[in-house]
């Protein structure tokens, strides 16, 4: 063995790994067997096996070595000439600083219980320490987070969500942060039914109307009347015949709320 050259690549931020490549120089190699080169420091160790015919120099590439920024030892040996070995020391690239992107959000109802998801996606090695802000105001830091991934925050607080800081054990400084998530809280709908509130018993053709464009309408009329037209799950109107004097009611449920109208029926036929 004469020499080993070692050229480590930059650390990949996505995988926190690198590769090292170069040449192995030798003279009078054995005619058979194999030539192996191993990064003895990597955890786990990474090796490549080369096959004859051996013509010096022979190129090699070791991939997917974890970045750690320390000295690594390469060890090369011929299987048919175990006394013919050589070591090479090189310095691995430091661990890549983590990256995080915040996204998600959406519209929610201002009912105090409806939530939407804000998501933080990471690259690099955990656990992570990070802080997010709402409308520029930093919230309580999240420390030592190591899954599940991505980080998901179910929130009912409106505003613009951004990342303020990010770090891990290998990169105690600020990592790379980007993205934003906007949460919009819509006011609750104001339910309303329009129609005749004072009618005579026995009257027909009383049309009652609620918000158009909703879903799953469920119309209900008290015993004082009955629905003669409309009033289905896709109908925002209902036509009622009021049969008896006194107080009656009509109501409708739909996906955005419930409308209720109390009706006085003072007339008699």
CATH label of the domain that carries residue 42: 2.60.40.10
Q: What integer is the mean pLDDT of 79-94?
A: 94
Q: Residue 264: what pLDDT?
A: 60
Give the Cα separation of 103 and 105 in Å (integer): 7
pTM for the model stands at: 0.59
**Half-sphere exposure in the Cβ direction for 191 (13 Å, CA):** 14
Q: Residue 269: what pLDDT?
A: 38
Q: Say which range, 25-29, 76-80, 190-194, 239-243, has the weakest mean pLDDT.
A: 190-194
CATH label of the domain that carries residue 216: 2.60.40
pLDDT tens sequence across 102-115? 999 999 988 888 89
Q: Choose the final residue of a domain: 129, 157, 186.
A: 186
Residue 180 predicted with pLDDT over 60: yes
pLDDT tens sequence across 121-136? 998 888 999 999 999 9
pLDDT tens sequence across 250-259? 998 887 666 6
Q: Choose the final residue of a domain: 29, 61, 91.
A: 91
Q: Residue 259: what pLDDT?
A: 61
Q: Residue 261: what pLDDT?
A: 60
| Same domain, yes or no: 36 and 105 | no
Do the domain assignments include residue 85?
Answer: yes
Residue 266 predicted with pLDDT over 60: no
pLDDT tens sequence across 217-230? 999 999 889 999 99
pLDDT > 90 fraction of the chain, expressed in percent and rounded = 68
Q: What integer is the mean pLDDT of 161-187?
A: 90
Q: Choose the final residue of a domain: 37, 59, 91.
A: 91
Mean of the per-residue pLDDT values for the chain? 91
Non-local (6+) Cβ contacts of 29 within 8 A are 35, 52, 54, 56, 78, 81
| Same domain, yes or no: 138 and 215 | no
Domain assignment of residue 208, given as a range: 198-267
Q: Which has more confidence, 94 or 38?
A: 38
Residue 200 pLDDT level (bands cut at 50, 70, 90) = confident
Q: What integer is the mean pLDDT of 70-78?
A: 97
Helices (DSSP H) in 13-121: which residue ranges?
none
Name the residue among 99, 102, 40, 93 with its Cα closest to residue 67: 93
Q: Residue 126: what pLDDT?
A: 87
| Same domain, yes or no: 155 and 123 | yes
Q: In the chain, how many domains are there?
A: 3
Q: Residue 100: what pLDDT?
A: 96
* C-beta of residue 200 within 8 angstroms of C-beta of residue 241: no
Q: DSSP string spanning 139-195? A: -PPEEEE--SSSEEEEE---EEEEEEEEEETTB-S--EEEE-EEEEEEPPP----BS
Q: Which has more confidence, 150 or 15?
A: 150
| Same domain, yes or no: 123 and 73 | no
| Same domain, yes or no: 16 and 59 | yes
Do the domain assignments include residue 47?
Answer: yes
């Amino acid at each position: 063995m004469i020499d080993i050259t070692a050229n480590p690549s930059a650390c990949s931020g996505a995988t926190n790994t690198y590769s090292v490549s170069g040449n192995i120089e030798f003279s009078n190699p054995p005619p058979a067997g194999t030539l192996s080169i191993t990064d003895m420091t990597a955890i786990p160790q990474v090796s490549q096996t080369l096959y004859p015919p051996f013509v010096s120099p022979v190129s090699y590439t070791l991939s997917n070595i974890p970045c750690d920024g320390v000295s690594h030892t390469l060890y090369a040996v011929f299987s048919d000439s175990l006394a013919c070995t050589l070591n090479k020391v090189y310095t691995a690239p430091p661990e890549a600083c983590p990256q995080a992107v915040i996204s998600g959000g959406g519209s929610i109802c201002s009912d105090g219980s409806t939530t939407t998801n804000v998501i933080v996606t990471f690259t690099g090695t955990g656990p992570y320490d990070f802080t997010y802000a709402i409308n520029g105001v930093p919230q309580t830091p999240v420390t030592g987070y190591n899954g599940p991934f991505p980080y998901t925050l179910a929130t009912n607080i409106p505003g613009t969500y951004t990342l303020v800081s990010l770090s891990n054990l290998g990169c105690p400084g600020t990592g790379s942060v980007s993205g934003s998530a906007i949460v919009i809280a819509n006011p609750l709908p104001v339910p309303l039914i329009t129609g005749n509130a004072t009618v005579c018993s026995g009257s027909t053709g009383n049309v009652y109307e609620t918000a158009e464009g909703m879903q799953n309408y469920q119309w209900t009329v008290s015993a004082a009347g009955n629905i003669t037209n409309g009033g289905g799950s896709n109908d925002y109107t209902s036509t009622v015949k009021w049969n008896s004097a006194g107080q009656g009611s009509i109501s409708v449920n739909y996906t955005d709320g419930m409308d209720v109208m109390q009706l006085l029926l003072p007339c008699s036929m």
